[in-house]
Amino acid sequence: MSLAALAARLRARELSPREAVEDYLARIEARRELNAYVTVRAEEALAEAEGPQSAPLHGAPVAVKDVIDVAGTPMTAASAILRDNVAERDAEVVARLRRAGAILLGTLNLHEFAFGALTTSPHFGPARNPWAPDRVCGGSSGGSGAAAAAGLAAGTLGTDTAGSIRIPACLCGVTGLRPTTGLVPTRGVFPVAWTFDTVGPVARSAEDCALLLDAIAGTRTDLAGGVEGLRVGVVEALLARARPEVAAAAEAAIAELGRLGARVERAEVPLLEEAGTIQQLQMLPEAANAHLRFLRTRLAEYGPDVRARLLAGLLLPPTAYVSGRRLRRRYRAGVDGVFERFDLLAAPAMPVVAPRIGEETVELGGEAVPYRLALIPFNSPWSLAGLPAASLPCGFVDGLPAGLALVGRRYADAVVLRAAHAYQRATDWHARRPA
Amino acid sequence: MEPESSLDDLRRLAAAQGVAPSDDDLEAVRGFLDAILPELARLERLLEPEDEP
């Protein structure tokens, strides 16, 4: 059941918050093999379900990625270093969820310290894709994707620095929104890179994402109006980079937007190829700085991939960071120029479907490409410019979900969600669920 | 820094910041730096003096 439908039933008293919490706890227990959760707050959630509930969520059970503080609950970041850390108070987004009537079921698995795209923590184990448990969920918010897809929470929050909401949303066949950078407060969220970090929803539909975004951002998203007259720019350079079957699914979705009234044209984004490198130049040093105390004292406790990335940030020349900032401004100016012609950009959300756990490369254009490097060009261009970007299900390839990316102007998150909602009213890819 | 960073250079730079990586760690970092620094040099040529941070 969608978050919107569940909230409506709770509001109508057709279901009590306690019944809803018990139902989700039973689902979580039944799907433990997915390893979507790090901590389940069973007793606390049941107790919270007995209290007064507020609108608009009326006691709907949700869960958040385990880098987001929930008072009195472990916040491990799926790391050995923070294994025994317990949050003293709620992150601002959790406080806002509670004020909106949500009940916190627990915290969700992720790539260690939200610094990778697999969710295969060496300390807490891999989250498994509900569509094929031998495959990854993507990351870093992989537990959020798995929980949303398998119905282990009515809605979830993830974080996105360079794709960490969009990647698992795509690979798990659910809807995710990286909000405009700065729209949602990050206080009480363990940082990856401060100038890129965002918190956003991962849920079953754009409508559910809008409910969650409004709760945590204080926005009032209007989903009415469709896409009639919206100018959609197709980023053909990304279509060309994707696996052909995945590109075809995205092209079919874009054609559907055209049938719904959008004006679809080809778009070229300046420095698109360079966006990944430009983001790395700033993201890596910021991450190294955020981790400096642990790098000095507990280096061996990181997983090898995260340790290597943090050390790369530590050892980049200082001028690289400044060059990155200068290049970022230039890049953003170019993207702003593109959005003088378009209301939205559209592209495949990811170039591939979920790889198997343990696979380090994916096949693109007949070559084996490192998984992480294959994903960067589909994510960094929008993170680097601070743009709202959604991933929504648009088909299946080899029985696994493929996704469409919709990207809007800064602070036009509502336009992105409105277009996604219009697409989801006309199609049913988002309604399909794993067995 | 030249693209061909030596492990000793990297070790000294890490030590100056209070961090003591292993040789395996430094090899991984050197591979990354050897890939990204030439790309950085290319991108820096795109910058104009008026491109401020």
Q: Are residues A105 and A132 in the same domain?
A: yes
- Let me know if residue A74 belongs to a domain: yes
A267 contacts A342 by C-beta, under 8 angstroms: yes
Q: Are residues A92 and A184 in the same domain?
A: yes
Q: Are residues A148 and A264 in the same domain?
A: no
A219 contacts A331 by C-beta, under 8 angstroms: no
Which chain B residue is nearest to residue A274, measuring alpha carbons? Answer: B43
B33, B51, B52, best to mutate vs chain A, most A CBs in 10 Å = B51
- What pLDDT does residue B4 have? 54
- What pLDDT does residue B5 have? 67
- Let me know if residue A294 belongs to a domain: no
A231 contacts A265 by C-beta, under 8 angstroms: yes
- What pLDDT does residue B3 have? 46
A279 contacts A320 by C-beta, under 8 angstroms: no
CA distance A291 to chain B (A): 11
Q: Are residues A123 and A164 in the same domain?
A: yes
CA distance A218 to chain B (A): 31
Q: Are residues A187 and A94 in the same domain?
A: yes
Q: Are residues A86 and A171 in the same domain?
A: yes
A58 contacts A7 by C-beta, under 8 angstroms: yes
Cis omega before residue A56 (within 30°)? Answer: yes
- Let me know if residue A406 belongs to a domain: yes
User: The domain that contains A40 carries what CATH number?
Assistant: 3.90.1300.10
Q: To the nearest whole number, what is the mean pLDDT of chain B?
A: 91
- What pLDDT does residue A327 have? 98
Distance CA A117, CA A372 (A): 7
Please name the residues in contact with A30: beta carbons below 8 A apart, sequence gap of 6 or more.
Answer: none
pLDDT at B1 over 70: no
What does residue A5 show for φ and ψ, rounded to 5 degrees? -70, -40
Distance CA A178, CA A160 (A): 6
> What 3-state class would DSSP assign to A122?
coil
- Let me know if residue A385 belongs to a domain: yes
- Let me know if residue A287 belongs to a domain: no
| Alpha helices (H) in chain B, listed in sequence order | 7-16, 23-44
- Let me know if residue A315 belongs to a domain: no
Q: Are residues A208 and A262 in the same domain?
A: no
A380 tagged catalytic: no
Please give the torsion angle defined by the CA atoms of residues A107, A113, A114 and A117, in that order, rounded to the nearest 10 degrees. -110
A300-336 burial string, b = 16+ CB within 10 Å, else e?
Answer: eebbebbbbbbbbbbbbbeebbebbbbbbebbbebbe
The number of domains in chain A is 2
- Let me know if residue A225 belongs to a domain: no
- What pLDDT does residue A68 have? 99
Q: Are residues A256 and A163 in the same domain?
A: no
Q: What angle is formed at CA A371 by the lines to CA A357 and CA A430, rounded to 5 degrees?
A: 75
Considering only CB atoms, which chain A residues are within 8 Å of B53? 322, 325-326, 329
Q: Are residues A336 and A422 in the same domain?
A: yes
ipTM of the complex: 0.93
Which residue from A321, A416, A354 is spatially nearest to A167, judged by alpha carbons?
A: A354
A189 contacts A68 by C-beta, under 8 angstroms: yes
Segments of A122-168 assigned E as strands: 125-126, 128-129, 132-136, 155-160
pLDDT at B2 over 90: no
Residues spanned by the domain of A268: 231-275+320-431
A406 contacts A422 by C-beta, under 8 angstroms: no
Residue by residue, pLDDT tens for chain A (435 residues) are: 999 999 999 999 999 999 999 999 999 999 999 999 999 999 999 999 998 899 999 999 999 999 999 999 999 999 999 999 999 999 999 999 999 999 999 999 999 999 999 999 999 999 999 999 999 999 999 999 999 999 999 999 999 999 999 999 999 999 999 999 999 999 999 999 999 999 999 999 999 999 999 999 999 999 999 999 999 999 999 999 999 999 999 999 999 999 999 999 999 999 999 999 999 999 999 999 999 999 999 999 999 999 999 999 999 999 999 999 999 999 999 999 999 999 999 999 999 999 999 999 999 989 999 999 999 999 999 999 999 999 999 999 999 999 999 999 999 999 999 999 999 999 999 999 998
Q: What angle is formed at CA A289 by the lines to CA A75 and CA A313, rounded to 5 degrees?
A: 110
